[in-house]
Amino acid sequence: MANPFYAHPKLSQLPTPFYVYDLAGLRGRVAKFKSSLPANAHIHFAMKSNNNLEILKALHECGLGVDLVSAGEMRRAHEAGFTPEEMIFSGVGKTADEISAALEMNIHQLNVESLPELERIADLAAQAKKQARVALRMNPDIEVDTHPYIRTGFHENKFGFDFSEIPNAVEILKTHANVLTLQGLTLHIGSQIRDLVAFRQAIRKTFKLWQQLNTQGFTLTSFDVGGGVGIDYLSADLAKDEELIAAYGKMIETEVPSIVNRIDFEPGRILIARFGALITEVQYVKRTPYKNFVIVDAGMNALMRPALYEAHHRILRIGGRTAAKSSDGRTQVFDIVGPICESADVLGYKRVMPSDIKAGDRLAILDVGAYGYVMSSQYNLREPLKEYILNGVTL
Ligand code: LLP
């Protein structure tokens, strides 16, 4: 019987905690995503979700571009083999140095989020004698059903232009037409979204503006719909992800008219989340009169999502004969906690685990390929985590 990638025997001797990625799974997911989108789709992997060099190289081999948000990401993308033409630069706080570096490299597009940023880009492009290719990120003011910390398309968020600011943006663009080329509009309404209605509304609203701008002397060619497609963290069912991907592709096909030459996508989570696991070792099983704890060697330093967003990640015992179940089939409820000196250092609340769980057992924390390692820290001066790659699991 085939083991899941995170239980591969090759991993059993490696010191914990560590991240492991399943490259074959990732490649399959990318193929599925690509085939669900129209032929004029350009997929730019949001490398803030995972910036592992081998993963980036693999995604480049799959024909993807990259969406970046810092000079560091630009350097890493370059190292992974992405050409400037395959890069889009997003983010509300681009520094002058970052903009200059992007202009110097001639990257495909700067996604601009405010009037002062647009002015700064114009100045820096003039100094560098470069033509900056820009897209305006719109804030469509849509409430999305996701955690408030990862909602970005609502008017109270710091992201993107309000529609009322467009006349001012147009003025800047026209004044600096010798250094600014408006290629398109861009959106990103939030992350971990599984209801397509919000995407649909945002695209409709923004596409109207796209058309208006084309009647005001601009020649927009592209429409960037951002990322944000989520997964069901409670479920192991990859077929459900694929159903959502297919429905998302259909929605795009209906909502983005064919006069748009090129549709850009910036997915992160939907591509990589499922194909990463965090492997950790049980240090102590602590039973108190009030609660039972499994104390492991990975904490909020290794995976911040549960502490920061109360995110749920499935946690399974792996390895050995006792893998998922105890020998007598009995279970007990535990909080799975890390070693960090904070009460928020909980990886999973009220988890049903085999009752014979013991020190030395290994647990896999699942669906952490996106926003896992990249958000880890050395808090409490813990060692940086290691990352391992499996090319494919053939057991
Ligand atoms: N494009 C832009 C401009 C973004 O800001 C993001 C994510 C993406 C694309 C990719 O979104 P995705 O397809 O991965 O949802 N740390 C949080 C997620 C923060 C997302 C930030 N922006 C988490 O762990 O859930």
CA distance 351 to 193: 25
Confidence of residue 391 (pLDDT cuts 50, 70, 90): confident
CA distance 286 to 332: 12
What fold characterizes domain 274-390? Answer: Lyase, Ornithine Decarboxylase; Chain A, domain 1 (2.40.37)
Distance 372 CA to ligand 1 centre (A): 12
What number of CA atoms fall less than 13 Å from residue 269's CA on the CB side?
A: 20
**Average pLDDT in the 215-242 region?**
97
Task: List residues with catalytic annotation.
Answer: 341
Ligand 1 atom index nearest CA of 49: 14
In tens, the pLDDT along 109-123 reads: 999 999 999 999 999
Ligand 1 atom index nearest CA of 269: 14
CA distance 253 to 144: 21
Cβ neighbours of residue 82 closer than 8 Å, sequence gap 6 or more? 56, 60, 65, 66
- C-alpha distances in angstroms, 289 versus 282, 292, 345, 355? 20, 8, 20, 16
pLDDT at 235: 96
Considering only CA atoms, which residue is closest to atom 24 of ligand 1?
371
Confidence of residue 145 (pLDDT cuts 50, 70, 90): confident
Report the chain's mean pLDDT, rounded to a whole number.
94
Pocket residues: Cβ below 6 A from ligand 1: 46, 48-49, 67, 90, 150, 188, 191-192, 226-229, 266-270, 305, 309, 370-371
CATH classification code of 91-265: 3.20.20.10
pLDDT above 50: residue 321: no
pLDDT above 60: residue 302: yes
Q: Where along the chain do its domains lie? A: 91-265, 274-390
- Residue 242 corresponds to which tokens in the numbers above? 């694929």
Global pTM value: 0.96
In tens, the pLDDT along 166-225 reads: 999 999 999 999 999 999 999 999 999 999 999 999 999 999 999 999 999 999 999 999
Question: Which of 67-71, 138-142, 172-176, 216-220 bottoms out in mean pLDDT, i.e. has the lowest?
Answer: 138-142
Distance of CA 99 to the CA centre of its chain: 22
Write the burial class of residue 48 (CB in 10 Å: 0-12 exposed, 13-18 middle, 19+ buried): buried
